[in-house]
Structure 1
């Protein structure tokens, strides 16, 4: 039985005792751990914090597993938890006043070499990524979820609790804003 079949079996047995929950979390970590870290990294742009957020995601998953209603895939549910934790972190006073100040004070921290940053640089050139990161959050996240994480508009809608048509609309507006930024040289 592969990991996805085992996850499905454990979720549908309705007998997730302590040992079953531990096994399920272990399989979920193997299957989705790196994807959750990448998703968190896109939001917070810090490898260490992204790893901390991923740990928090799986801890919340363990604690709230009985509340998982199986209306969406387990991957979508984990991603939604990750996005909410990232948003909370970005709204926190610590991030707003300390982290941004440190990054602005020490510009070399912006270009810290990490595997994720190397991957981003391979996928897109620096000018495009800066333009994406300079977009307002509602446009930035649909671009990242659609093009980088390769989620469908329906999955993005489920993650962000908006309609698919709204996702498509945000994607169109985000593309327009990106095109203008790239033409004018903004965001770099």
Structure 2
């Protein structure tokens, strides 16, 4: 269920409905909020996609806990599978977004420290570089190092799994950065 909710490709659907364009063939090809903004030029559309992507992460956690209980493992599994669905949606040939908004929406409900840590590291990285992808990657790596101090030890595998998934979806950006792009 969480995968199905996470796999709803809001960037693809909203850009297709608003302009007839296929986001997978434009800009970075990434099916997410930032590419939606870049391709459409619309802040409103970019923010709407980001909000909906976060909402589907939250919805997956809320629905899962309603049916399976308010346990941490249930929430972690729902968050992970919603993010997996966003990153690899079956509807788009398993080519989706990078997962940041979906993770944020899901974890804000039960691990606020992850989101707060991510935002703080992101802002510090922005002050240093003014490069969005650098900030996203730095904040994600920062969570991997800081979260074990703030979250229960039984959440570590979940946190590392999400960090790995997000970094995997940023590998194209990291390759470009190392090439000097």
TM category (shorter chain) comes to 0.3 to 0.5
Higher gyration radius (CA): 1
TM-score (norm 1): 0.35
Structure number with higher relative contact order (C-alpha < 8 Å, ≥ 6 residues apart): 2
TM-score (norm 2): 0.36
